[in-house]
Amino acid sequence: MSVDKSDIEKIAHLARLQIDEADVADYTTHLANILDLVAQMNSVDTEHVTPMAHPMDAVQRLREDVVTETNQREHFQAIAPQVEDGLYLVPRVIE
Amino acid sequence: MEWETVIGLEIHTQLATRSKIFSGAATAYGAEPNTQACAVDLGLPGVLPVLNGEVVRMAIKFGLAIDAEITPLSVFARKNYFYPDLPKGYQISQFELPIVGKGQVTIELADGSSKVVGVTRAHLEEDAGKSLHEDFHGMTGIDLNRAGTPLLEIVSEPDMRSAQEAVAYMRKIHSIVRYIEISDGNMQEGSFRCDANVSVRPKGQKEFGTRAELKNINSFRFVEKAIELEVERQIDILESGGTVVQETRLYDANRNETRSMRSKEEAMDYRYFPDPDLLPVQVTDEDIEKVRQTLPELPDAKKARFVEDYSLSSEDAGILTASRELSIYFETVVEGCGEAKLAANWVMGELGGYLNRENLDIGNSPVSAEMLAGMLKRISDNTIYGKIAKEVFEAMWKGEGDADAIIDSKGLKQITDSGAIESLIDEVLANNPKQVEEYRGGKEKMLGFFVGQIMKATGGKANPGQVNQILKEKLKGG
Amino acid sequence: MHTKTIAELAAGLRDKAFSSEELTRETLARIRQHNEATNSFITVSDELALAQAREADRKLAAGEAGPLTGIPIAQKDIFCTDGVLTTCGSRMLENFIAPYDATVIRRFGQAGAVMVGKTNMDEFAMGSSNETSYYGPVRNPWDLDSVPGGSSGGSAAAVAALMVPGATGTDTGGSIRQPAALCGITGLKPTYGRVSRYGMIAFASSLDQAGPLARTAEDAALMLNAMAGFDERDSTSIEREVPDYSAELNRDLQGLKIGLPKEYFSEGLDDAVARVIEAAIDEYRKLGAEVVEISLPNSNLAVPVYYVVAPAECSSNLSRFDGVRFGHRCEDPRDLEDLYKRSRGEGFGAEVKRRIMIGTYALSAGYYDAYYLKAQKIRHLISDDFRQAFDKVDVIMGPTSPGTAFKLGEKTDDPITMYLSDIYTIAVNLAGLPGMSVPAGQVNGLPVGLQIIGNYFDESRLLNVAHRFQQVTDHHRQIPSGFA
């Protein structure tokens, strides 16, 4: 499986990761190696196998519709990088 | 060239639960920013979602209301993208296996015909927070109170062919979700909003044209306007030889235009995969039956019953069943006064007019169904008649009491004692010999003059029918 | 006091031979003395520990004490701890004072345990050597130039160096068992869903599971008693009664059927390690167990499947670290995209970024079926292999790791080789089964771990099987020189 620089840039953008130009080659090699390793999966015919998303063969438990949480804004915002008037601040979002 | 419009709608309806879809935080509208965003809603490291059972029951209820298949094992997936109002960097939604499958609704068109619109699916998901663009030193403020509010996204087939059909469909879904009480449908608060996929194609062509997605439209009027504008825009492009670009557009109500929202050069790649923090949601036949027991009479069935039981026209029945509250109001009035036709006329006429003028919902009407029924009873038993009744209604609207109290205090009771009316008539005839002569000479129009004189003398309280009858006898008698 | 096990310390506390405050003070002193050598702790919570110790002494005096009351325990720095720095080994959370308690933390608190600190770990639990920690590598007490294994390396080294009698770990692909093996201690990864994941910072949600690291199976049982149980805040936690894991420890092993998967004894396994494992199996024969060869035919696919599933889940789980509500935020972001990219680029280390990249790729449009879906299907086959095996045998045994502790830096340039060091542990996570590692001997002065894999919810049996072995062997009693 070949991976090139533009693949790395595309994935890094999707994942919102800044990657140093100098590291692009490393990422490229690593991803290519992983894809080689993972290619072993192709040796198995899985046409009639159902995917397993969970180790447990269980179904979702349902919660009762009751309010259990109280306002903890000050507590939660004490660890926030930038807040004002109870809002989290981010660089301006343009739509 | 003749163009055909193709429209599909994605309606997001907020489910009326007390707590959020995956956390125990409150969903109440209008709280101070971030005071209803708990650890789970904020996506703090380590937190996990637990599904609110009520949203599952509500989704099933909707599925039953549109005659849809309910998926026995539905799956929550993660829709991954970065946005500041999306705390976890993914939205928990349903992708491959939505809880509600194919269903349908019937809409009424302006020409009186009806049309079936397919519902592709309806799935559960969590809402995002809100970005506030007021000036925070050039920054945007994020309020996550709404994050995690349960939504049912209802996706239609591309079955609609005009803005009017789209509006009729949206109204129908709106009416259903309110009938079955899974949503308050409040559009100002964003509890009911829609995205419209709009494309045009030459009439007769099979393939769909390239579509634009109009985002987040939150009123019936705007849906119609936005679609009409978009259709016009696309036809203009095509007729001048251009091509329509697939993109997301925003309807700006102030400028009455649609404009491109985010560039699609970076095609959205949501990287859906089943959420490993949640297990498949099981719905058994037993669960479905339990929900079916709670299903109220639906608008279509109720409309048919109104036509049948109350001998209403299909149009009137349609208006009276458009909202569950109105239909309940109407039936309460009928029950109280015993006359369906009279009740229908007053509910749609006088009451409807007042509500419209003051922009009120039926739920906020100062005249309750019981009060209106009480007044209509007084029309039926001839205590008052039309013109007086309007006066009584206005007084009730202003909060001056119920009909009987108003009739009493204002002395509006109709004079029905025929002896009293006879003596009044005798007096009027005696005072106007010339007019009597004219009438008897063949000028039958003079009857109106006498009626007027008598009504004037009684302050409008005499029964016009009764007056007419006695007058004619007296004048004949000579 | 530091050489005592949890069970022995609990007896001492009950008999008033010493108080929890004395024990805690001594433990804190020992941590101060040895942490420089091993770098096991990111945070040492002296004040909190002493307050908890005094509260434990009150309970002991009042006769309200349980088996863990007053016992010093270290917590892996992956568990959110209210009011305490919780870094997950990352620069991203360098300033993250968790605003709530993980269920595991809460349960230890209810059991009266004393939290002495938070242990070092591979960044976001991604690593097999503890070298990816932003807070520096942990060193193996048996050889300070070697790795302790990972990702729960800080916990394993702290227990092996007798700094604490027990510590918690989490295991996504071997992160409890492999460091336990490399540090010569006992580690247990419970059945998926047995211990709540609430408040445990997620790496790969469908694989992560917390468990105890201690010197003996008996101690691991005491810790698991506190940790296990249904939690309504975790949809994947199982509503199932929790047995008393200490109750069955002494059960006779006569007739126990042990399966040895031939795939776990093939190429890649160090010969000397293989001999240690075979000797351990012989001990079990002496204890009356019957040993049969079995096959887990899809074993060779466990690593490839894991390196699709785990990165895919992690790429999504780590999206919440965006510099908006908590954690690292870059200086003066130019715009929103810059905020995201630089905060994440600076906050995450190289290995975490590599895995996010793999996962993002595997889930992206056009690749989902070929990678993620395919992996989940093979995961089913791997899981079926175990189901079939457990029709024939009670437990499965083999090496925990193909070799002993390797030198620091030895594999950092070759991530794939590093990934392959988890070859025997990963399949257990994919299937969701419980697994243990117990000290089985040494090669060149470095410990070797015997892996014992059980059927779903068979933790009692695993602990029993490990405990009986520890009663007839003394591998678990070995203490690294310099830490006696």
| Residue C390 vs residues A57, B432, C121, C425, C434: alpha-carbon distances, Å | 17, 115, 33, 17, 13
Query: CATH homologous superfamily of domain C1-484?
Result: Amidase signature (AS) domain (3.90.1300.10)
- B146 in contact with C, Cβ within 8 Å: no
Q: What is the pLDDT of residue B262?
A: 63
In this structure, which amino acid lies at residue C28?
L
Beta strands in chain A (DSSP E): 83-84, 87-91
Q: What is the pLDDT of residues B35-88, one digit of tens each?
A: 999 999 999 999 999 999 999 999 999 999 999 999 999 999 999 999 999 999
Q: How many other CB atoms are found less than 10 A from the CB of residue C369?
A: 8
C19, C20, C40, C76: the catalytic one is C76
Domains in chain B (CATH in brackets) are 3-289 (no CATH), 297-410 (no CATH), 418-477 (1.10.10.410)
In a domain, A86, yes or no: no
Q: What is the pLDDT of residues B415-459, one digit of tens each?
A: 777 788 888 888 888 888 888 888 888 888 888 888 888 888 877
| Residue C134 vs residues C118, C120, C179, C316: alpha-carbon distances, Å | 14, 9, 18, 21
* Upstream peptide bond of C146 is cis (omega within 30 degrees of 0): no
The two structure tokens encoding residue B332: 């309460």
Rounded to whole angstroms, the Cα distance separating C39 from C158 reads: 9
In a domain, A50, yes or no: no
Those residues with Cβ within 8 angstroms of residue C43's Cβ, 6 or more apart along the chain or in another chain: C77, C84, C85, C87, C117, C118
In a domain, A51, yes or no: no
Domain, as residue range, for A14: 5-43
- B36 in contact with A, Cβ within 8 Å: yes
- Which of C307, C327, C338 is closest, CB to CB, to A37? C307
Burial class (CB in 10 A: 0-12, 13-18, 19+), B265: exposed
Residue B332 pLDDT exceeds 60: yes
The answer to whether C89 and C121 are in contact (CB under 8 A) is yes
In a domain, A91, yes or no: no
* Chain B nearest C-alpha distance from C375 (Å): 13
Mapped onto helix, strand or coil, the DSSP state of residue C440 is strand
**Which percentage of chain B shows pLDDT scores above 90?**
69
- B385 in contact with C, Cβ within 8 Å: no
Phi, psi of C397 (to 5 degrees): -130, 155
- What CATH number is attached to the domain comprising A21? 1.10.20
Those residues with Cβ within 8 angstroms of residue A42's Cβ, 6 or more apart along the chain or in another chain: C374
β-bridge partners, A60: none
Residues within 8 A of A (CB atoms), B 53-82 only:
53-56, 73, 75, 82
* Chain B nearest C-alpha distance from C215 (Å): 28
Binary contact (B142, A90; C-beta < 8 A)? yes
Annotate B438-471 with b (16+ C-beta within 10 A) or e (fewer). Answer: ebeeeeeebbeebbebbeeebebbbbeebbeebb
- How far apart are the two ends of chain B, measured CA to CA in Å? 77
Binary contact (B47, C372; C-beta < 8 A)? no
The answer to whether C256 and C288 are in contact (CB under 8 A) is yes
For strand C395-399 and strand C257-261, is the pairing parallel, antiparallel, or unpaired?
Answer: parallel
The answer to whether B392 and B407 are in contact (CB under 8 A) is yes
Chains with ≥3 CB–CB distances under 8 Å to B: A, C
β-bridge partners, B91: B79
C19, C90, C151, C315: the catalytic one is C151
β-bridge partners, B46: none
Mapped onto helix, strand or coil, the DSSP state of residue B44 is coil
* Chain A nearest C-alpha distance from C351 (Å): 10
The two structure tokens encoding residue C42: 């990111």
- C88 in contact with B, Cβ within 8 Å: yes
Rounded to whole angstroms, the Cα distance separating B345 from B380 reads: 14
Mapped onto helix, strand or coil, the DSSP state of residue C278 is helix
Chain B environment of C341 (Cβ under 8 Å) = none
β-bridge partners, B275: none
Complex ipTM, two decimals? 0.97
Chain A environment of C197 (Cβ under 8 Å) = none
Q: What is the pLDDT of residues B256-305, one digit of tens each?
A: 888 887 654 456 799 999 999 999 999 999 999 999 999 999 999 999 99
- B43 in contact with C, Cβ within 8 Å: yes
Map tokens 């600190």 to a residue.
Answer: C117
Binary contact (A65, B42; C-beta < 8 A)? no
Q: What is the pLDDT of residue B258?
A: 86
Map tokens 């639960």 to a residue.
Answer: B17
For chain A, residues with pLDDT lower than 50 are none
Binary contact (B279, A60; C-beta < 8 A)? yes
The secondary structure of residue B118, as a DSSP letter, is: E
Binary contact (A62, B44; C-beta < 8 A)? no
Q: What is the pLDDT of residues B178-188, one digit of tens each?
A: 999 999 999 99
Rounded to whole angstroms, the Cα distance separating B93 from B370 reads: 45
| Enclosing H/E stretch for B104 | strand B103-108
| Per-residue confidence in pLDDT tens, chain C, 484 aa | 899 999 999 999 999 999 999 999 999 999 999 999 999 999 999 999 999 999 999 999 999 999 999 999 999 999 999 999 999 999 999 999 999 999 999 999 999 999 999 999 999 999 999 999 999 999 999 999 999 999 999 999 999 999 999 999 999 999 999 999 999 999 999 999 999 999 999 999 999 999 999 999 999 999 999 999 999 999 999 999 999 999 999 999 999 999 999 999 987 899 999 999 999 999 999 999 999 999 999 999 999 999 999 999 999 999 999 999 999 999 999 999 999 999 999 999 999 999 999 999 999 988 999 999 999 999 999 999 999 999 999 999 999 999 999 999 999 888 888 898 899 999 999 999 999 999 999 999 999 999 999 999 999 999 999 999 999 999 999 999 999 8
Rounded to whole angstroms, the Cα distance separating C114 from C112 reads: 7
Domains contained in chain A, number: 1
Q: What is the pLDDT of residue C468?
A: 98
Category of A9 on φ-ψ map: left (φ > 0), alpha (ψ -120 to 50) or beta: alpha
For strand B273-274 and strand B76-80, is the pairing parallel, antiparallel, or unpaired?
Answer: antiparallel
The two structure tokens encoding residue C190: 């419970």
Q: What is the pLDDT of residue B265?
A: 44
Q: What is the pLDDT of residue B261?
A: 78
Q: What angle do CA C254, C260, C266 make, to 5 degrees?
A: 155
Mapped onto helix, strand or coil, the DSSP state of residue C72 is strand
Chain A environment of C360 (Cβ under 8 Å) = 11, 14-15
Q: What is the pLDDT of residues B213-268, one digit of tens each?
A: 998 888 999 999 999 999 999 999 999 999 998 888 988 888 888 888 765 445 67
The answer to whether B50 and B249 are in contact (CB under 8 A) is no
C175 is catalytic: yes
Burial class (CB in 10 A: 0-12, 13-18, 19+), B171: middle
Rounded to whole angstroms, the Cα distance separating A52 from A48 reads: 13
Binary contact (A38, C324; C-beta < 8 A)? no
Mapped onto helix, strand or coil, the DSSP state of residue C331 is coil
Chain C environment of A7 (Cβ under 8 Å) = 361
- Which of C335, C342, C357 is closest, CB to CB, to A12? C357
Binary contact (C99, B45; C-beta < 8 A)? no
- Which of C301, C323, C433 is closest, CB to CB, to A41? C301
Instruction: Calculate the CA B224 to chain-centre distance.
Output: 15
C175, C237, C343, C401: the catalytic one is C175
Map tokens 């009664």 to a residue.
Answer: C241
Chain B environment of C100 (Cβ under 8 Å) = 39, 44
Return the residue of C nearest to B24 by Cα: C233
Chain C environment of B47 (Cβ under 8 Å) = 198-199
In a domain, A20, yes or no: yes
In a domain, A38, yes or no: yes
Q: What is the pLDDT of residue B477?
A: 65
Rounded to whole angstroms, the Cα distance separating C223 from C188 reads: 10
The answer to whether A80 and A74 are in contact (CB under 8 A) is no
C76 is catalytic: yes
| Enclosing H/E stretch for B80 | strand B76-80
